[in-house]
Amino acid sequence: MAPVKAIRDRSIVAKRPLRPTHRTVVALLRERLPSRGQEILQAARRVADQAGTRLYAVGGFVRDLLLGVENLDVDLVVEGDGIAFGEAFAATVGGTLRSHRRFGTAVVHLPDGFKVDVASARTEYYEHPAALPTVEHSSIRLDLYRRDFTINALAVGLNATGYGRLLDFFHGSRDLKDRVIRALHNLSFVEDPTRILRAARFAVRYGFTIARQSERLIRNAVRLGILDKLSGARILTEFRLIFQEAQPAAILKVLEGYGVPEAIHPRLRGGRAEQALLDRVGEVLSWYRLLHLPEAPTPWLLYLLAWVSACTPAEARGIARRLSIPTGRHMDLSAVLTAYRALRRQFGKDRPFTPRLITRLLADAPLEAVLLLMAKAPSPAVERAVSEYLTRYASIRPLLTGNDLKALGIRPGPIYQDILTSLRYARLDGRLTSREEEEQFVRRRFAAHIPAAD
């Protein structure tokens, strides 16, 4: 294969006009951007003008401004030293700076919680497919050219001269109007295969279609096995973004149409049942968030569990390795899947679901396994049982504490856990309602552990 940098001239957009539009979006900045956002842009403009540096707002911020979608994630590009600009900007607004000198990028965190991403205008090339790019300082045009899709290759000038001027070298605003996701060049998905997943994500989010030429490029990249070269960590990052979207099942359906999940791992495939389950998981997550409970699930892990819920533990471990999922109790895909299946077996038995039994089964299970059980409950009775546990039983605890047991003369040790568990079950059964009753229960049930009075 010829070096990627050497054949860039055979790109799609190289055959298209590279002269930018002369449209201005001053009115949109004034009408659609909250006052705080306008203040941030004006502060950045003053710093750039004082330094004699060309400054632009770019990417998704501009895309969503044109679409009328709220997006306060401000991305700035400087034709020059982005880190130096970031330092001056942070000092002006009283923010803190975190820089990445290798890529010439920085993030400025403002005191009120806003953050602004700053980068040097740069071009990049790839030594081989799916590699991380080699970066060189460049112009705004080449900076926009290195981006994924035309709708993201937009910039707005922020200097006093030319403030609000839209730079659109690649007809991104036209593609926004036509509701099309279009790759910038014919090596886009070879250079960076994660763009395939982003294409599906943006298409579903905005209700756009993927251009036919871009579809052919996606299918070609999948056929060439380019996804095999992509690290698991980068794929997992994209899946996590997908599972943060409003319609993750629809995004996965688009990707399955191109054979993408199976190209990542043979067992990452689904059908209507899996898509319906993913939609149900979204409903369960929305319901759980409204409870405002202290323990929060890991949404992407829950979605992934639902997606692979038909896999064997060995297959789940293989998927976890491919995606470089971190190990640990709350991240072990195979372990959480095994816990979920154990819960299904227990709740599949024909017996009454008492508060004590429900709590005993669910109390030590990973929250993701519990929520997946609710989403994929074998019966309405099981769904009600999980709901009752999360909304009522999980919060029921003994009124007595370890200090109270110590005051009774009980020596600290494993017996404390036995006593507190017994108290909890007795409260769940409705047999104890006060501290006095709990203390009497302990004195009666665990008398052997209480020293005799002198």
Q: Could you tell me the CATH number of the domain that includes residue 34?
A: 3.30.460.10
CA dihedral (13, 16, 20, 22) positive or negative: negative
174: phi then psi, degrees, rounded to nearest 5? -65, -40
Could you tell me if 341 and 432 lie in one domain?
no
- For the chain, count helices (H), then strands (E): 22, 11
* Same domain membership, residue 133 and residue 26: yes
- Domain C-terminal end among 207, 234, 264: 264
- Give the integer Cα–Cα distance in Å for 109 and 82: 15
The backbone region for 445, taken as left when phi is positive above 0, alpha when psi lies in -120 to 50, beta otherwise, is alpha
Residues 115 and 240 in one domain: no
Residue 125 lies in a domain: yes
Residue 245 inside a domain? The answer is: yes
Asked whether the beta carbons of 337 and 309 are under 8 A apart, the reply is yes
Domain boundary among 178, 212, 242: 178
Q: Is 288 in the same domain as 316?
A: yes
CATH no. for residue 301?
A: 1.10.3090.10
Kindly indicate the confidence band of residue 439, based on its pLDDT and cuts at 50, 70 and 90. Answer: very high
By the 8 A CB rule, do 183 and 175 touch?
no
Instruction: Specify whether the CB–CB gap between 275 and 248 falls below 8 A.
Output: no
Burial of 2 (0-12, 13-18, 19+ CB in 10 A): exposed
In this predicted structure, the answer to whether residue 322 has a pLDDT above a threshold of 80 is: yes
**Residue (of 241, 239, 244, 248) closest to 322 by Cα position:** 239
Claim to verify: residue 110 and residue 74 sit in the same structural domain: yes
| Alpha helices per DSSP H over 94-185 | 140-145, 172-178
Residue range 277-316, pLDDT digits in tens:
999 999 999 999 999 999 999 999 999 999 999 888 889 9
Q: Are residues 230 and 355 in the same domain?
A: no
- Does the residue 454 lie in any domain? no
pLDDT, tens digit (0-9, with 9 covering 90-100), for 85-136: 999 999 999 999 998 887 788 999 999 989 999 999 876 555 455 555 544 4
CA torsion sign, 316 to 322 to 326 to 328? positive
Within-domain flag for 8: no
pTM of the model: 0.84
* pLDDT over 70 percentage in the chain: 90
Pair 281, 409 in one domain: no
Q: Is 436 found in the same domain as 355?
A: no
Instruction: Verify that 357 and 338 share a domain, yes or no.
Output: yes
Residue 47 and residue 166 share a domain: yes
Average the pLDDT over each of 113-117, 262-266, 313-317, 323-327 and give the range with the smallest value.
323-327
Domain that holds residue 431: 402-449
Domain boundary among 159, 178, 197: 178
**How many domains does the chain fold into?**
4
**What is the identity of the amino acid at 418?**
D
Is there a single domain that holds both residue 27 and residue 170? yes
CATH no. for residue 186? 1.10.110.30
Please indicate, yes or no, if residue 344 is contained in any of the structural domains: yes
Q: Are both 390 and 414 inside the same structural domain?
A: no
Q: Is residue 204 part of a domain?
A: yes
Side-chain-side CA neighbours of 28 within 13 Å: the count stands at 19
